[in-house]
């Protein structure tokens, strides 16, 4: 089997900080005027140091909002805030500041691979910039005050996106994820709470933040993720040794469908792309080596395709998806 890097299994890392302003009610209780005041305060605070772009949710179509969710720039909860929500986006697209979602502020940084400490550093820098100009709701004993009690404390959610195809196809994934959940870690789908896993992708994150430092929470997630990585690697090695012929057939069938199909649903595409990503990392499908399969998974999501042509019907969208996949894999 070709040399497997941890970044083949860990797709992205994300740190999200929840903060609230001291002199305002939680977003759910605010008037539109109060919501706009919060947006202005946060935008003015960041604008003193950073060139972030401000976007109001009311100015976006539903397709554009959902495309931003698919690209992990905003949350589904913010997309539902039609008149009260907004977000700030850094020039490199790695950091977004969601305003008036569940809390007044949700600072989110995403980096490739297992890089929670780097994400924490970037998010913390933005947090410090905002705090220079506003008063946070903070209690000496409890920590940062948040709308949801599970976020009280550091207000931090550390999460890692994992690609676990070997554990999935060998039916070990449910047992593993149940065991992980007993360690105080949440397992979610691709777009967070309440969403399903597609393409054998899973999000692992801390559940509580009270009574632990940011560094302790990050170290805990890193340790659990490294254990999951080892299990996925061992399962891949077992499959390579004992099921090579079946694997090779599955991978080439997946590649054949992806490079020839004229229409494809998102669920089928995600499953097949997951297989050829696994095949490439195991050295069985060399024709896929060097291609960013995860990025392709993002591009083919329904609303990302609809941003190309907003008039596409679901059937035409399936055709466009197949066309994009063929173009990217055969170029």
Give the start-to-end residue ranges of the domains of the chain.
6-233, 244-330
Choice among 47-51, 194-198, 232-236, 317-321 with the minimum mean pLDDT = 194-198
Choice among 138-152, 157-171, 192-206, 274-288 with the minimum mean pLDDT = 192-206
Extended beta strands in the chain, E state: 10-19, 53-56, 86-89, 95-99, 105-112, 138-139, 143-144, 156-163, 185-188, 201-206
- Please enumerate in sequence order all residues whose Cβ is within 8 A of that of 216, keeping only pairs 6 or more positions apart, or say none: none
The 10s digit of each residue's pLDDT in 167-179 is: 999 999 889 888 9
**Mean pLDDT of the 70-75 span:** 94
**Mean pLDDT of the 315-320 span:** 96
pLDDT band at 191 (very low <50, low <70, confident <90, very high): low
Tokens encoding 112: 């490739």
Give residue 272's pLDDT. Answer: 98
Average pLDDT, the chain: 92
Going by the DSSP 8-state scheme, the letter that residue 189 receives in this structure is B
> What is the residue whose two structure tokens read 């996949």?
325
Model confidence, pTM: 0.91
- Please enumerate in sequence order all residues whose Cβ is within 8 A of that of 134, keeping only pairs 6 or more positions apart, or say none: 21, 22, 41, 42, 45
Architecture category of domain 6-233 in CATH: 2-Layer Sandwich (3.30)
Give the separation between CA 277 and CA 251, rounded to whole angstroms: 9
Give residue 100's pLDDT. Answer: 97
Helix (H, G, I), strand (E, B) or coil at 5: coil
The 10s digit of each residue's pLDDT in 91-149 is: 999 999 999 999 999 999 999 999 999 999 999 999 999 999 999 999 999 999 999 99
pLDDT band at 29 (very low <50, low <70, confident <90, very high): very high
DSSP string, 121-179: HHHHHHHHHHHTTS-B-EETTTEE--SSGGGTBT-EEEEEEEE-HHHHHTT-HHHHHHH
**Mean pLDDT of the 186-194 span:** 70
């Amino acid at each position: 089997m070709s040399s497997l890097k941890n970044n083949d299994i860990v797709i992205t890392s994300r740190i999200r900080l929840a903060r609230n302003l001291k002199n305002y009610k939680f977003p759910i209780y605010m008037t539109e005027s109060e919501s706009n005041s919060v947006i202005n305060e946060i935008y003015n605070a960041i604008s003193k140091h950073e060139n972030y772009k401000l976007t109001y949710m009311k100015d976006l179509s539903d397709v554009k909002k959902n495309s931003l969710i698919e690209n992990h720039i905003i949350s589904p909860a913010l997309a539902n805030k039609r008149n009260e929500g907004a977000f700030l986006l850094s020039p490199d697209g790695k950091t977004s500041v969601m305003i008036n979602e569940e809390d007044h502020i949700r600072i989110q940084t995403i980096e490739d691979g297992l890089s929670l400490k780097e994400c924490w550093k970037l998010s913390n820098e933005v947090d410090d910039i905002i705090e220079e100009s506003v008063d946070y709701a903070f209690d000496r004993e409890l920590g940062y005050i948040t709308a949801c009690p599970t976020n009280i404390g550091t207000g931090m959610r550390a999460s890692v996106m994992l690609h676990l195809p070997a554990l999935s196809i060998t039916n070990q994934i449910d047992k593993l994820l149940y065991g992980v959940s007993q360690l105080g870690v949440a397992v979610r789908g691709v777009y967070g709470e309440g969403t399903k896993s597609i393409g054998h992708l899973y999000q692992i994150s801390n559940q509580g933040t009270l009574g632990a430092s940011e560094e302790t929470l990050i170290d805990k997630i890193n340790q659990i993720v490294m254990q999951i990585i080892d299990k996925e690697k061992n399962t891949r090695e077992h499959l390579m040794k004992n099921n090579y012929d079946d694997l090779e057939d599955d991978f080439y069938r997946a590649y054949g469908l992806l490079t020839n199909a004229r229409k494809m649903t998102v669920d089928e595409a995600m499953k097949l792309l997951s297989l050829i990503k696994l095949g490439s990392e195991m050295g069985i499908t060399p024709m896929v080596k060097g291609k960013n399969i995860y990025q392709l998974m993002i591009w083919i999501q329904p609303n990302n395709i609809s941003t190309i042509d907003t008039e596409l019907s679901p059937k035409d969208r399936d055709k466009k998806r197949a066309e994009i996949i063929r173009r990217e894999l055969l170029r």
